[in-house]
Structure 1
Amino acid sequence: MNKSILSLGTSGLVAFFLIFFFQIGFFTGLENFFEDLLFVQQPVHSDIVIIAIDNESIEKIGQWPWKREVFANTLKKLEKYSPKAVGLDVVFPEESRFGTPDDQFLEDALKNLSYPLVLAIKADSFVLKNNQAYTDSFSGQLKKFKGQTNPIKSSEAGAPSSTEQFNGVNIGHVNLISDPDSVVRKFPIFIQSKQEKIPAFSYLITKNSGAKIPKEESLEQISRIVFSAAPGTISRIPFYRIISEEIPLSRLGNKIILIGSTAVDLHDEQPTPLSKGTQMQGVEIQANIINMLISGYQLKPLSSVFVSLWMLLVCLCSTLIFTIFKSSFKPLFFNAILGVFWLGAMLLLIDEGIMPNLIYITGAWFFSTISLFGCRYFTGENEKREIKKAFSRYVSKEVLEEILKDPKHIALGGEERHITILFSDIRGFTSLSEKLSPQELVGILNKYFNIMSKEILTNKGVLDKYIGDAIMAFWGAPVKDGDQTDNAVQAAVSMVKQLKKFNKELKEKKGLELDIGIGIYSGRAIVGNIGSETRFDYTAIGDSVNIASRIEGLTKEHKTKIIISDSVKNNLKNKYTFELLGSVEIRGRKELVKIYKVLI
């Protein structure tokens, strides 16, 4: 299979699985973890102040829950500070345990306040559907303030409250959304009940404070909270100090005031991205949301289609880099592409407030890179095994290592190359075979072939084949060899020298000597795996092969061991001694070929 197609298919498969995992939210926990790292602690808006129902206040005022008369008196006392808006983050789900008169104190205090007030309610449960929050558990709590409340109706949701509406009470929900890891990261801007569409507590406070906030239609209905302040860092005043009127006008004048619990025993705390082991009080979370709305910086998720396309693009870019660039440059470009996509993601986050889904970008880069390298490694190993299988019989270990270093340059299917071909043949083999038994003949031939083959392989030749008592070898393929003629001639000289040693042994044992002739020619030939489906060999074919064979045949006529053509002699770098034998006509070739005897 074409490697480019294989690489593209691999990346496509990676992209498919990542998109699938993204759609089912498989990596949501990991994604949340990485996105939490983007939040850094910053000062909140100076207008936001918390009046804390803390442990010290409970000690001074009394056991919780307090009388509602305490809250009524406090709300009245806040009028002298002319706050921009006040949010009472205390839920009153049932009648006061101190009786109806206590409830009446609070109801009377809510009438004709000089500042906007928002009370908190909480849905016992709600469901998220189509990026909206729905509940049917608000109605009982709303009845408590019937006649004093002005919840936003579905038809007028998001309409700003005017000062004339402050004789009533705004009611907002304080529900938050925790992810599977229990960390609060989102809140619903509105929760739809059967009767009303209840806005978020923090949204109503911000709107009624006069701050410029985004229009409802531009807000994500399930909104990501941009946390700025860590637990315990927002300006706060103990509740009891308001009752004792110890607070100067400058501390609360013209501020957005949130009244809520910070006492540990009241258990109104949850983990947030900035918690770092310390949970954040509910009123602090509301303060962070208000700060986000005032700043106008809202985090918006990327559409699932865009994230899917982004992952596909990362995988595609990885494939292009993998197939185009050389191995030494690939790590550089792979890291560069990740950097480019991260930079783009950061620009989206900073300029547009769009959450960049870094885990999926990084995952696409990581898994496509690993898959591509893994795929290339295993296919490369298979390719190397095939090459090893094909060439281990033909070439030396050193040449085989050269082949395996860069297998892509090996054209097993066939190519034309300039090569140097060597033929050698035993003279008088027929008469020799008549003097020996089959076992003796085979034994001598095997030893002879071992000796001759070793010299060919030692000099980087390809041992093509044995043809009876003849040997065919060549240089210049499959690995290009700039010294192919020198290597071929050196192999021939070594073969003749080794034959002398072998003949000495053979004469002592059998009273025989072998005589050989070697012909060498350089020219163009076709090399490749040639054969049938059941058997094929890496070999060379063409006129150059035929000429080399015929030059070898001339050694007997000229009574010499080695004959080379002028195409070999003219390309030799090492110095040898030659004798010109003349120009001969070779069958199948129009031009005469100059041949030389190599003197040993």
Structure 2
Amino acid sequence: MATTGMGRVLRVVRRAFGKGRGWALLLLAALFVLRVEDPEPLQLLRVKTFDVYQKIKPREVKQRPVTIVDLDERSLREVGQWPWPRTTVADLLQRLTAMGAIVIGFDIVFAEPDRMSPGIMQASMPGLDPATRQQMLAMPSNDEVFAQAIAQSRVVMGHSVRADAVPVPDDAPRPSVALIGSDVKDKLEQHAGILRNLSILDNAAAGRGIFNTTGEVDGLVRRVPMVVTVEGKDLYPSLSIEMLRVATGNQSIAVKARGTEGVEGVVIRPNVVQTDNRGRVWVYFSHYDTEKYVPAVDVLTGAVDPAKIAGKLILVGTSAVGLLDIKSSPLDAFLPGVEVHANIIENILGGEQIWRPRDADYLEATAALAIGIAVIVLVPMVRARWSAMVGAAGVAAMFGYSWYSFDTSLTLYDPVYPALVATLLYMYLTYVGYTAEEAQKRQVRQAFGQYLSPALVERLASDPTQLKLGGEMRDMTLMFCDVRGFTTISELFDAQGLTRLINRFLTPMTDIIMERRGTIDKYMGDCIMAFWNAPLDDANHARHACDSALAMIASLRGLNESLEREAKEEGRRHVPLNIGIGLNSGIVCVGNMGSEQRFDYSVLGDNVNLASRLEGQSKTYGVTVVLGEHTASQAPDYALLELDLIKVKGKTEAVRIFSLLGDPALAATEGFQALRAKHDRMLAAYRGQRWDEARALMAELRADAQAIGLHLDGLYDLYDERMEAYEANPPGAEWDGVFVATSK
């Protein structure tokens, strides 16, 4: 009982994990590990999908709270190449403040003293008189002038991160960033140092922020950190978030932690800017917007429309290619870096932040698991077309939901990973199914290629469900075909010549059988065993067998003519090939027969043995083809003559046997119909022991048969001999007309 139970368990396991499902589950587990590791190619696929969403639905510019004062090509051409004297920048700053700018942020760092300051310039003027030199030294530096202008305005100076640590000046202002909750400095973007402005400038400013916007794997800017960690200890805000702090009058900003998971957001009271775990915001870009740009030269000359400055947050930056601040966004391949900050500020002020939920990874993994299991279950069970439709519908649903979330709430869900899981599993399981199907087809071709016609083999290989291996009971027609007098013929040839002869005989006979949907069971020397209605269904199996027998007889005539011609050319005796064919229909067992080491697709049963016995009786009755009664009943329109009621060797019951003499065309002729009627009367006289009447009819039958091209002398000679024997030894009144065969 325990063994039986274990067997059931093993069968259940095989069904559950068969057809590639076990390896598919391992592949699914590997894909989960891949998602946990999240390599760059997978990240790139994800963000590229989000890029497509932005391209489909870019942010509409509804209002412009930010104006960019642009150090563009025209400004550089008319004012002079950069860097400009700090007095010119101070003039720019004073004009912006006077026109009502709320906050002015510099997407530029002023790290070195202005070389155009009078005190510095005098050192490079060797011919200068002492009085003038002293006068120049006493003048305020350009940086002092600029610092004074900064102090009189609300300015946020820009800092740039560095890959190397640099000393922090003692008088450097401290960053205005605090922590709420856990210490998440290690979760933020890490940098070794900062390239600062001159202390005189930084100390005069209302705020300081990092303006770097590093691109991702492919160089596109998508996420920008709102706070970074420098030297592993100090927190520094981004330029955009610092400008908002100054604009709202907050003394500081705070990084709000989400337990130990990372950053939840950046607080600028009373609002919280949503970020990812690393303190980054997704930037929702509008297309390059020339309307928000004002050339710096127009501010300096007073040509600018004051409405573009008043009440605005001003960013001073550059679109000039030569100043190397060109970025790429999902929408624009060439975008001034300063506009990234403008987009961030507009996102926050306009409430149009792109947001990737905290549980997005979990939901995406759950979706991947669900569709992965569905694919693993369905693909081996249903046709590839239907499973592909189900998988495609699941993938489409995920992409649809992902787009819907972005379209309605700017929420980012990744459809790529679940789709990738579904696609890879589908491809793997389809490949497994394909290879299994190909192996099955190959097995079918190997098993039946020698027995069936190529067309039938391909039909069977294309739909192996038509094949039932292992044995089944079927109504079939069996054929045995043997060469008469083969021993005499073999004496005329050596081994090689005899082999060639057999091949010349078997090849056309085999082709004829296969062309008529027959299956070759085996060759036994000069004997062919074949059958119909297996492995493929054949409703007309008896008729196809009869057609094959008639075609084999016709083919043999042509072969004998060729052999006779060759024998004359070689000067040897010619013995024509003659065959005997036995056909019988009935229920037999068909399937793989043999041992575990070797087996063949073959047939077994009493009706098989009878077909073999009928072939042996063809010589006795002097005809080529002998049919059993069941075969004759399925081909009633063929030219058939009843031969006898006979008990063949090994059988206890009599069987009615027939001879196949021609096709339905011959059977429909008046000559054959008259012959058959007279033949039936002869048999009735014979079985009624009216010997004289039977002899008289046979005399007429010999002439009638010859008249329509049939040779039945051997058959009627046999009946003459029997009647002579019965006259000498009468069978008695109880005789039922059955002849008992004494040989096979």
Q: Same fold (TM over 0.5)?
A: yes
1:50 maps to which of 55, 68, 77 = 68
Q: CA deviation digits over 1:144-190, x for unaligned, max 9?
A: 567656xxxxxxxxxxxxxxxxxxx1322112222244333321121
Matches within 5 A, 1:96-495: 96-97=114-115, 98=117, 101-111=141-151, 113=153, 117-125=155-163, 131-138=187-194, 144=200, 169-193=206-230, 196-206=234-244, 209=247, 215-216=272-273, 219-223=276-280, 225-231=282-288, 233-276=290-333, 279-293=334-348, 294-300=350-356, 322-326=379-383, 335-351=392-408, 353-357=410-414, 360=417, 363-364=420-421, 367-368=424-425, 371-372=428-429, 374-426=431-483, 432=488, 439=495, 446-495=503-552
Counterpart residue type for residue 220 of structure 2: V
> Aligned to 1:177, what secondary structure does the other structure show?
coil
Q: 1:230·1:280 contact (CA, 8 Å) conserved in 2?
A: no
Quick one: distance in 2 between partners of 1:577 and 1:188? 96
- Residue 33 to residue 529, structure 1, CA distance change in 2 (3 Å): farther
Counterpart residue type for residue 576 of structure 1: Y
Deviation of the 1:266 alpha carbon: 2.7
Q: 2:625·2:659 contact (CA, 8 Å) conserved in 1?
A: yes
Per the normalisation by structure 1, the TM-score is 0.78
Deviation of the 1:596 alpha carbon: 4.3
Deviation of the 1:410 alpha carbon: 3.3
Counterpart residue type for residue 54 of structure 2: F
Quick one: distance in 1 between partners of 2:475 and 2:200? 99
Bigger mean CA offset, 470-479 vs 25-34: 25-34
Counterpart residue type for residue 586 of structure 2: S
Structure 2: which 5+ residue stretches go unaligned?
Answer: 1-13, 120-139, 166-183, 249-267, 568-572, 663-744
Pick 1 or 2: higher relative contact order, CA cutoff 8 A, min separation 6: 1
> Aligned to 2:75, what secondary structure does the other structure show?
helix
Aligned-CA RMSD value:
4.4
Deviation of the 1:567 alpha carbon: 4.0
Percent of aligned pairs with the same residue?
23
> Aligned to 2:479, what secondary structure does the other structure show?
strand
Bigger mean CA offset, 285-294 vs 563-572: 563-572
Counterpart residue type for residue 526 of structure 1: V
Quick one: distance in 1 between partners of 2:412 and 2:461? 47
Q: CA deviation digits over 1:254-273, x for unaligned, max 9?
A: 32322223333333222333
> Aligned to 1:519, what secondary structure does the other structure show?
strand
- Residue 144 to residue 410, structure 1, CA distance change in 2 (3 Å): farther
- Residue 57 to residue 426, structure 1, CA distance change in 2 (3 Å): closer
- Residue 499 to residue 259, structure 1, CA distance change in 2 (3 Å): closer
Structure 1: which 5+ residue stretches go unaligned?
Answer: 150-168
Bigger mean CA offset, 291-300 vs 506-515: 506-515
Quick one: distance in 2 between partners of 1:32 and 1:583? 88
Quick one: distance in 1 between partners of 2:246 and 2:608? 97
Quick one: distance in 2 between partners of 1:126 and 1:18? 38
Which residue is equivalent to 2:84?
Answer: 66
- Equivalenced residue count is 574
Counterpart residue type for residue 104 of structure 2: V
> Aligned to 1:388, what secondary structure does the other structure show?
helix
Q: 1:126·1:134 contact (CA, 8 Å) conserved in 2?
A: no
Q: CA deviation digits over 1:95-149, x for unaligned, max 9?
A: 4443765444444444475xx6433222223999965212342496595567656
Which structure has the larger Rg over C-alpha atoms?
A: 2
Q: CA deviation digits over 1:382-404, x for unaligned, max 9?
A: 44444333322212233223233
Q: 1:225·1:292 contact (CA, 8 Å) conserved in 2?
A: no
Q: 1:488·1:520 contact (CA, 8 Å) conserved in 2?
A: no
Quick one: distance in 1 between partners of 2:294 and 2:102? 17
Which residue is equivalent to 1:575?
Answer: 637
Deviation of the 1:461 alpha carbon: 1.0
Q: CA deviation digits over 1:530-575, x for unaligned, max 9?
A: 4452x43222234443343345455566665434345434544x83
- Residue 548 to residue 76, structure 1, CA distance change in 2 (3 Å): same
- Residue 240 to residue 233, structure 1, CA distance change in 2 (3 Å): closer
Quick one: distance in 2 between partners of 1:353 and 1:411? 58
Quick one: distance in 1 between partners of 2:98 and 2:562? 124
Which residue is equivalent to 1:155?
Answer: none
Q: CA deviation digits over 1:415-462, x for unaligned, max 9?
A: 5544322223456767x5897777587676555434533332232211
- Residue 261 to residue 347, structure 1, CA distance change in 2 (3 Å): same
Which residue is equivalent to 1:514?
Answer: 578
Bigger mean CA offset, 466-475 vs 581-590: 581-590
Deviation of the 1:335 alpha carbon: 4.8
> Aligned to 1:300, what secondary structure does the other structure show?
coil
- Residue 119 to residue 585, structure 1, CA distance change in 2 (3 Å): farther
Q: 1:563·1:596 contact (CA, 8 Å) conserved in 2?
A: yes
Per the normalisation by structure 2, the TM-score is 0.65
Quick one: distance in 1 between partners of 2:558 and 2:76? 111
Quick one: distance in 1 between partners of 2:68 and 2:579? 109
Quick one: distance in 2 between partners of 1:354 and 1:589? 86
Bigger mean CA offset, 517-526 vs 503-512: 503-512
